[in-house]
Amino acid sequence: MSLAFDEYGRPFLLVKEQANKERVSGVEAQKVNILAALGVANVLKTSLGPRGMDKILTTSDNEVVVTNDGATILDLMDIDNEIGQLMVELSKSQDSEIGDGTTGVVCFAGALLEQATGLLDKGIHSTRISEGFEKACEMACSRLEEIADTIAVQGGDILLQTARSTLNSKVVNRDRDHLAQICVDAIMSVADLARKDVNMDLIKVEGKVGGRLEDTCLVNGIVLDKDFSHPQMPKSLKNPKMAILTCAFEPPKPKTKHTLQITSAEHMKELHEQEQEYFRKQVQQVKDSGADLVICQWGFDDEANYLLYRSELPAVRWVGGVELEMIAIATGGRIVPRFEELSSDKLGTCGIVREVGFGTTKDRMIFVEDCPHSNAVTLFIRGGNKMMIEEAKRSLHDALCMVRNLIRDNRIVYGGGSAELAASCAVHAKADAVTSVDRYAIRAFGDALESIPINLALNSGLDPIRALSDARKAQLEGKNPYAGIDCMDRGTIDMKEQRVFETLSGKCSQLRLATQVVKMILKVDDVIITKPDQEQQQ
């Protein structure tokens, strides 16, 4: 679709394949947009909660991905509709801001749009619906702040329980206790508790196929998916001084076009000797600086590799730029772009550098540990196949982000749908005091909040009506704002007793982001749709 102007300057629309397209405006267009968004939201409903279903997807490279992470599912789905893309962006925004809750935010946005459809049928204008939703969102967030508990971050027990709650709905939940402890230890290693900040760039996640998920460990240093350039170089170095180079071990190349004619064996020998002299000079410059280990961003050929081995100078080649920066920060070294600039004060140091092999395979990795200038850590994941490792990376990322959020804001609410039910009861109570048309939208927002516990009960195989009624009764009559859905059959609906935690910042972010996206969708009242094929209809 494009905009054009006639000879009088009046605009008109040009639509590609106009015979097969139809322009819809007003309430009908809003309903078309809502239907497109609901199609995306309904895909994720069955993945919500600790007993939610996993989705199996195929990438463009024919790789199979099995996951229940909302952001990953939507990212791999082929969605052409613009409104559907808004739901994808909603999930990405939640993932970027909070790190978890990507499935719940899309499901809640879908529930809001379902309620908006009924309000549009009653003749309420979309602007009034949006205003009512926004007022109700602030009411719900205020209620969540009232029932939130403030925790002590230093102890670590609440952090561990929050990480366990996050991993409870993931594929790796069978080993959630071990993985949750790793996540808490990683965050506490790089956290600045005085400033309430966490530098996530200092946490590197690396995986290697082989072993079991239980073999996943936390390395106090940096793990490189590399090996020493020569198989006879030493496999372990204690307190090495390392030169971090972005210059390659090779002769300099002229910048202009040139032609070299070799007419005799003496010329070839002379050229070889000159090349050897370049390599010897470069290796000697590294040795003169006092370096015991070379970490190079670029590769070098067998000639240079052999000279490094003969000079008893272990080397690692083809190290990525990000990893090179992390090593420089952690070891206190400087990244050197030229051999002439290399000196002893630019060398980094650490406790130990060792090469680790895995079983009978040729897979090897290098561990740079006990770095003095940084608390950088690496989560080293093991798994039976690449698919399991990738899903473990996504799961641990969510758990890391939730623990980080608690460091920044140490207020929690309780899961299992209890927070949504408490907010829903508060919104319904305050809606009665509103005398304008906004009352209907506020009540609809409260009804949409109940969709989360309903879906949790459905995915857990419970009777959703009975489970929701029991939880609501406990909240209203028992004055227990922590009553939710007993998804794991623990025998109690009190989520505080079950120790199921969520961060307050994450929950409020879900409500606000979903409300903003729904407002955007309701504002679109002009859309072009494809007409259904008459032969297919018949």
What CATH number is attached to the domain comprising 293? 3.50.7.10
- As a whole number of angstroms, the distance between CA 467 and CA 456 comes to 10
Range with lowest mean pLDDT among 255-264, 280-289, 293-302, 323-332: 255-264
Asked whether residue 533 carries a pLDDT value surpassing 60, the answer given is: no
User: What is the reported pLDDT for 49?
Assistant: 83
Give the DSSP H/E element, type plus range, for residue 459. helix 451-459
Q: Which of 314, 241, 247, 240 is nearest to 278 (CA)?
A: 247
Q: Which residues of 219-232 are buried (b: 16+ CB within 10 A; e: fewer)?
A: bbbbbbebbbbbee
User: What is the reported pLDDT for 525?
Assistant: 78
* Residue 347 located in a structural domain: yes
Q: Is 285 exposed, middle or buried (0-12, 13-18, 19+ CB in 10 A)?
A: middle
Q: Tokens for 205, please give them.
A: 């996640």
pLDDT level of residue 132 (50, 70, 90 thresholds):
very high
* Residue 48 located in a structural domain: yes
Q: Do residues 391 and 126 lie in contact, with contact meaning Cβ atoms separated by under 8 Å?
A: no
Q: Is 85 exposed, middle or buried (0-12, 13-18, 19+ CB in 10 A)?
A: middle
Q: How far is CA 8 from CA 11, 12, 167, in A?
A: 9, 11, 63
* Residue range 286-293: mean pLDDT, rounded: 89
pLDDT level of residue 274 (50, 70, 90 thresholds):
confident
* Residue 189 located in a structural domain: no
CA of residue 140 relative to chain centroid, distance: 26
Walk across the sheet containing 217-219 and list its strands: 203-209, 377-383, 217-219
Pair (369, 459) in one structural domain: no
Asked whether residue 538 carries a pLDDT value surpassing 90, the answer given is: no
Q: Which of 67, 72, 95, 102 is catalytic?
A: 102
pLDDT digit string, tens, across residues 297-336: 888 878 888 888 888 889 998 898 888 888 888 888 899 9
Asked which of 373, 392, 427 is the last residue of a domain, the reply is 373
- As a whole number of angstroms, the distance between CA 162 and CA 144 comes to 17
Asked whether residue 114 carries a pLDDT value surpassing 90, the answer given is: yes
**Total domains in the fold of the chain:** 2
User: What is the reported pLDDT for 167?
Assistant: 86
More confident residue, 524 or 520: 520
Q: Which of 67, 69, 378, 503 is catalytic?
A: 69
Q: Which residues pair with 530 in a beta bridge?
A: 21
Q: Do residues 437 and 124 lie in contact, with contact meaning Cβ atoms separated by under 8 Å?
A: yes
- As a whole number of angstroms, the distance between CA 484 and CA 461 comes to 15
Residue with tokens 């406790």: 351
Q: Which of 103, 162, 216, 503 is catalytic?
A: 103
* Residue 530 located in a structural domain: no
Q: Is 102 a catalytic residue?
A: yes
- Amino acid, single-letter form, for residue 448: A
Q: Which of 385, 406, 417, 358 is nearest to 183 (CA)?
A: 406
Pair (53, 120) in one structural domain: yes
Pair (257, 336) in one structural domain: yes
User: What is the reported pLDDT for 111?
Assistant: 94
Q: Which of 78, 132, 86 is nearest to 105 (CA)?
A: 86
pLDDT level of residue 12 (50, 70, 90 thresholds):
low
Residue 427 has φ and ψ, to the nearest 5°, of -65, -40
Pair (265, 362) in one structural domain: yes
More confident residue, 112 or 339: 112
Asked whether residue 17 carries a pLDDT value surpassing 70, the answer given is: no
Q: Which of 95, 100, 227, 398 is catalytic?
A: 398
The β-bridge relationship of strands 411-414 and 241-245 is: unpaired
Q: Provide the residue count of the chain.
A: 538
Residue with tokens 């007409």: 531
Q: Is 435 exposed, middle or buried (0-12, 13-18, 19+ CB in 10 A)?
A: exposed
Pair (309, 434) in one structural domain: no
Pair (39, 116) in one structural domain: yes
* Residue 159 located in a structural domain: no
CA of residue 94 relative to chain centroid, distance: 10
Share of the chain above pLDDT 90, in %: 22
* Residue 404 located in a structural domain: no
Taking each helix axis as running N to C, give the angle between helix 102-121 and helix 27-45, from 0 to 180 degrees, rounded to the nearest 10.
150
User: What is the reported pLDDT for 116?
Assistant: 93
Q: Which residues pair with 4 in a beta bridge?
A: 12
Asked which of 373, 388, 403 is the last residue of a domain, the reply is 373
CA angle 79, 534, 28 (to 5 degrees): 55
Average pLDDT, the chain: 85
Asked whether residue 359 carries a pLDDT value surpassing 80, the answer given is: no
Q: Tokens for 343, please give them.
A: 């000196």
Q: What is the dihedral of CA 383, 386, 388, 389, to 10 degrees?
A: 70
* Residue range 263-279: mean pLDDT, rounded: 81
Give the DSSP H/E element, type plus range, for residue 281. helix 265-288
Pair (364, 421) in one structural domain: no
- As a whole number of angstroms, the distance between CA 222 and CA 532 comes to 56
Q: Tokens for 75, please give them.
A: 């990212």
Pair (285, 366) in one structural domain: yes
* Residue range 449-468: mean pLDDT, rounded: 91
* Residue 18 located in a structural domain: no
pLDDT level of residue 32 (50, 70, 90 thresholds):
confident
Pair (225, 137) in one structural domain: no
Neighbours of 156 (CB within 10 A): 15
Asked whether residue 204 carries a pLDDT value surpassing 80, the answer given is: yes
- Amino acid, single-letter form, for residue 289: S
Q: Which of 323, 304, 506, 292 is nearest to 403 (CA)?
A: 506
Q: How far is CA 518 from CA 92, 111, 137, 445, in A?
A: 15, 10, 12, 11
pTM score, whole prediction: 0.79
Q: Is 398 a catalytic residue?
A: yes
Asked whether residue 518 carries a pLDDT value surpassing 70, the answer given is: yes
Q: Is 162 a catalytic residue?
A: no
More confident residue, 22 or 41: 41
Pair (369, 436) in one structural domain: no
User: What is the reported pLDDT for 448?
Assistant: 93
Q: Which of 505, 481, 506 is nearest to 495 (CA)?
A: 481
Asked which of 373, 405, 428 is the last residue of a domain, the reply is 373
Host domain of residue 340:
221-373
Asked whether residue 537 carries a pLDDT value surpassing 60, the answer given is: no
Q: How far is CA 333 from CA 177, 249, 291, 341, in A?
A: 37, 19, 11, 13
pLDDT level of residue 444 (50, 70, 90 thresholds):
very high
- As a whole number of angstroms, the distance between CA 413 and CA 143 comes to 11
- As a whole number of angstroms, the distance between CA 421 and CA 413 comes to 12
Pair (139, 44) in one structural domain: yes
* Residue range 398-421: mean pLDDT, rounded: 89
pLDDT level of residue 536 (50, 70, 90 thresholds):
very low
pLDDT level of residue 528 (50, 70, 90 thresholds):
low
Pair (247, 364) in one structural domain: yes
Helix, strand, coil shares of the chain, percent, nearest 5, are: 50, 15, 30
Q: Which of 4, 32, 133, 103 is nearest to 512 (CA)?
A: 133
What residues contact 533, with CB distance under 8 A and at least 6 apart?
none
Taking each helix axis as running N to C, give the angle between helix 176-190 and helix 386-408, from 0 to 180 degrees, rounded to the nearest 10.
50
User: What is the reported pLDDT for 477?
Assistant: 86
Q: Tokens for 128, please give them.
A: 């009034």
pLDDT level of residue 231 (50, 70, 90 thresholds):
confident
User: What is the reported pLDDT for 517?
Assistant: 92
* DSSP 8-state class, residue 233: S
pLDDT digit string, tens, across residues 35-91: 889 988 998 998 888 888 888 888 888 888 888 888 888 888 888 888 888 899 999
| CATH code at position 131 | 1.10.560.10
Asked whether residue 534 carries a pLDDT value surpassing 50, the answer given is: no
* Residue 379 located in a structural domain: no
